[in-house]
Amino acid sequence: MRSRALDAVVSSFVDDVTDALLAATRRLPDVDEEDLREAATVEAFNLSVAMIDADGRHTDDELDALVDAFGTRLPDTRLLHAAPATLRGGALVAGRASWLEEESELFGILLDADRRDDGDLARRYYERALDVAHVVASLDVVPAQSELEAISRLRTRLLAALRDRPVGGAPTGTPAGEGDRPAARSEDPPARPLEELLAELDELVGLDEVKARVHLVADFLYVQRLRAERGLKPLETSHHLVFTGNPGTGKTTVARLLAQIYRTLGVVQRGHLVETDRSGLVAGYVGQTAARVTARFDEADEGMLFIDEAYTLARGAENDFGREAIDQVVKLMEDRRDRVVLVVAGYPAEMEEFLSANPGLRSRFPTVIDFPDYSTDELLEIVELMCRKQQYELDDGARERIRAALDAAPRTKGFGNARVARNLFEATVSRHASRVRPLEQHTEEDLTVLTAQDVPGADQVGCDST
């Protein structure tokens, strides 16, 4: 079944950016709202195809979602009747990733208006653009590292521009008072049913203990909500979480689902996920780190803030600003405990070090969820999921050779898990292409079946590292 997630976030992008452009150009004569909406639609399309092209794969799921989202929105109706096979590698998508590195004229218009009017219009563009980028990355079974890096670069570039202009309204970091809590924004997609979110969680490969813990968290929150609806006093508890485990074990994926679960159950109003790490929190000069931490909490307001490799904040010399970041995190966890859910993630032993870095940290994280490494069977299942999504098939020889490569990978600290599975899949597809290209004729079997000779050895695809 096709996902309509991209269509939903594109609608929000077009509506919100159009409204922002109308506000920015209200003093100009003869401004046509339909022209601005068309410009916002083209902007959303450019962003979507750039993200699709970021990893160069142009999968069926991505291209189907592109057609669903823009087939009826763009004046050119060729996209409406296009199929992935005709779009893949074509000029409409191929080579478009460079758009992510270009300055956006629309974003510039909003920035100029903010500088002139002490407004905050450009932040709407930033939030909606990141929503589109994340949804495109989520269309794959496991987002490619290049997609995640593209999102990071886009976020960094847009935020740098936002920090260079004044922001209207309350000072940065000023929490709303009691009774001022905003409702979910009209441009946010509707909250999803709890059972739908839990079903999506259960469809993830492996992670049985993680799923059980998340179900417990969801059940607890659901019952507390029922008690509140009946006038019974709900149990006061912290919603913050610690995720421990190696890279590639699904921590970010689970966090994104949990953020939506928290929204559905009324813990937060928006349920979006903001990801950061030490580089997004720690500055190089006295007094700047607390402001950076506050800015991340501002971005995550009424949603979830995910700090990856949080233990790195506790490392460094005595004058390292990581300690200042931790102190500010503890303060804002308390000040905004009803507005932001914080998840900190990293290796188990190192996260113990982090929780001991400040007396107020450990008590604020009642729940620790450990993400174990995937077994060989689970990693093989992930590879086969990737094959099915890309219309490939493993024959018995390929399956056994992949299993052997995964078995040979040392499960040490830093083992890449699903990233290893993706490396192996992509290397196998590349070798398959080199084998098939010289054939005089190409049957459908030639083009879809991966054989043992296509599978590289573990040492050739980095199965021993992340």
In 3D space, the residue among 115, 112, 95, 117 whose CA is nearest the CA of residue 46 turns out to be: 95
Residue 178 included in any domain: no
Q: Can you give the pTM of this predicted structure?
A: 0.61
Residue 179 included in any domain: no
Average pLDDT of the segment spanning 62-71: 89
Residue 172 included in any domain: no
Dist. CA 114–CA 327, nearest whole Å: 32
Tell me, yes or no, whether 325 and 386 share the same domain.
no
Tell me, yes or no, whether 362 and 389 share the same domain.
no
Residue 186 included in any domain: no
And the tokens for 420? 């290893």
Tell me, yes or no, whether 388 and 307 share the same domain.
no
Tell me, yes or no, whether 385 and 423 share the same domain.
yes
387 pLDDT band (50/70/90 cuts)?
Answer: very high
Tell me, yes or no, whether 56 and 119 share the same domain.
yes
Among 315, 350, 371, where does a domain finish?
Answer: 371
H/E segment holding residue 27: none
What is residue 377's predicted lDDT score, i.e. its pLDDT? 93
* Residue 346 region by backbone torsions, left for phi larger than 0, else alpha for psi between -120 and 50, else beta: left
In 3D space, the residue among 429, 433, 419, 417 whose CA is nearest the CA of residue 374 turns out to be: 417
Among 371, 391, 420, where does a domain finish?
Answer: 371
Tell me, yes or no, whether 380 and 358 share the same domain.
no
Residue 318 included in any domain: yes
Tell me, yes or no, whether 230 and 145 share the same domain.
no
Residue 465 included in any domain: no
Q: Give the domain extent around 93.
A: 5-163
Tell me, yes or no, whether 42 and 156 share the same domain.
yes
Tell me, yes or no, whether 434 and 333 share the same domain.
no
Helices 105-117 & 121-138 angle (0-180, nearest 10): 150
Chain segment 198-216, per-residue pLDDT in tens: 888 988 889 888 988 898 8
The pLDDT > 70 percentage for the chain reads: 90
Tell me, yes or no, whether 112 and 25 share the same domain.
yes
Dist. CA 35–CA 235, nearest whole Å: 52
Is the pLDDT higher at 1 or at 315?
315
Dist. CA 404–CA 376, nearest whole Å: 9
Q: What CATH number does residue 412 fall under?
A: 1.10.8.60
Residue 79 included in any domain: yes
Chain segment 3-33, per-residue pLDDT in tens: 577 888 899 999 999 999 999 998 888 888 9
Q: How many domains does the chain have?
A: 3
Residue 312 included in any domain: yes
Chain segment 234-289, per-residue pLDDT in tens: 777 889 999 999 888 989 999 999 999 999 998 999 999 999 888 888 887 767 88
